[in-house]
Amino acid sequence: MATMHDVARRAGVSVTSVSHVINNTRPVSDDLRQRVLAAMEELGYQPNQLARSLRRGQTHTLGIIIPDNVNPFFAEVARGIEDFSFQNGYSLILCNSDSDLQKELHYAGVLVEKQVDGIVFVAAGHSMEQVVGLQRRQVPVVVVDRELSGVAADTVLADNQRGGWLATRHLLDLGHRRIGCITGPSDLTPSADRVAGYRQALAEAGLPVAEELVVRGDFHYDSGYRAAQQLLALPDPPTALFACNDLMAVGAICAAADLGRSVPADLSVVGFDNVSLASYTNPPLTTVAQPMYEIGALAARLLTERIQGMQAPPRRYVLNTRLVVRRSTAAPPAPAPR
């Protein structure tokens, strides 16, 4: 592998002159520049970009830690981060924590060792210590999709409570009164806020929350399947379900089919996220859309602004959610004649 000394010898100039041409740190004559560039091409010399970046104090690399790279929501958020980063000259290192706090901590350390310029952080749970630890090391951090109490960092969220309200209000407007809710993990603010919106809509309609209709899932298909089975086995089962993400909603539709219940004739189902799969379920899924790609792109923009020296109080962005009505919801079935 050719070195800078080899280029200097081939061009007949000093190593310092080669450095000035490569790093553009001092004006040189056109003749000298062309001789150095020609020597580099003849020798196939490639400057050590990492070393150059470290000398300048930046590597033009960002890190992202997500809890579940199989979940299409996080994939779409990561795509928004990656597109913005690439367009602005940054590379991206993606780490999957599997919602494991120890794995999350390990990857945070790895990214610091790699000297990334900043990290987009989707916390596995109560991860305040990890974010604060990164900030103590002067690593810029943007938190996505989570509220972390006690953390002074830029944050990008969707309006989860309004999304839960929109889903439940839609079912109420169709005439449903027994509405089940399949929640996500209780320690995650998106899940808690969506359930709060569900409860708010029921309260506004003058309906009590029947606690047997609220069943916890974990944002994966199989938990939605099991929760729907549990709800549909009740003596007075719900006529509609609000699942706090699309994956659990798909699991609920599969459970209904296995129990001989037709969606939406016997059971209406609403999800949350509007992942691309939602358009292709059978039937296509009514869901609450959140701007996943935009969340990622905005997080990357906020992070690069911090890297470039922006001094401002922590910023908090809450992006709108909206209801997307497809064919998985309808009016409840008429009561059977006595």
Which of 283, 221, 226, 274 lies closest to 250 in space, CA to CA?
221
Which position has the higher pLDDT, 296 or 26? 296
CB-based contacts of 280: which residues, under 8 Å, 6+ apart? Answer: none
Q: What is the pLDDT of residue 126?
A: 61
By three-state DSSP, how is residue 209 classified?
A: coil
**DSSP per-residue codes, 94-112:** EEE-TT-HHHHHHHHHHHH
Q: What is the pLDDT of residue 201?
A: 98
Q: What is the mean pLDDT of the chain?
A: 91
Lowest mean pLDDT among 64-78, 161-175, 243-257: 64-78
84-107: per-residue pLDDT in tens? 999 998 999 999 999 888 888 889
Which of 330, 253, 246, 255 lies closest to 290 in space, CA to CA?
246
Residue type, 102: Q
Which is it for the CA torsion 100, 195, 212, 270, positive or negative? negative
Q: Across the beta sheet with 240-243, what order do the strands follow?
A: 214-216, 179-183, 240-243, 268-273, 286-289, 322-324
Tokens representing residue 294 in the block: 């935009």
Lowest mean pLDDT among 54-63, 67-76, 89-98, 151-160: 54-63
Res. 20: pLDDT tops 90: no
Domains of the chain: 4-47 (1.10.260.40), 57-159+292-307 (3.40.50.2300), 160-289 (3.40.50.2300)
Tokens representing residue 308 in the block: 């470039």
Of 8-22, 33-47, 62-76, 126-140, where does the model show the most confidence? 62-76
Q: What is the pLDDT of residue 51?
A: 53
CB-based contacts of 335: which residues, under 8 Å, 6+ apart? Answer: none
Task: Work out the pLDDT band at 54, boundaries 50, 70, 90.
Answer: very low
CA atoms of 249 and 270, how far apart (whole Å): 7
255-264: per-residue pLDDT in tens? 999 999 999 9
Which of 63, 68, 49, 67 lies closest to 111 in space, CA to CA?
63
Res. 183: pLDDT tops 70: yes
Q: What is the pLDDT of residue 53?
A: 52
Q: ω into residue 72 within 30 of 0, thus cis?
A: no
Task: Work out the pLDDT band at 2, boundaries 50, 70, 90.
Answer: confident
Q: What is the pLDDT of residue 15?
A: 87
Q: What is the pLDDT of residue 44?
A: 85
Is 227:252 a contact under the CB 8 Å cutoff?
A: yes
Element (H, E) at 17: helix 15-23
Please tell me the pTM assigned to this model: 0.83
Q: What is the pLDDT of residue 66?
A: 93
Which of 170, 312, 308 lies closest to 240 in space, CA to CA?
170
201-241: per-residue pLDDT in tens? 999 999 999 999 999 999 999 999 999 999 999 999 999 99
Is 270:286 a contact under the CB 8 Å cutoff?
A: yes
Mean pLDDT of 22-41: 85
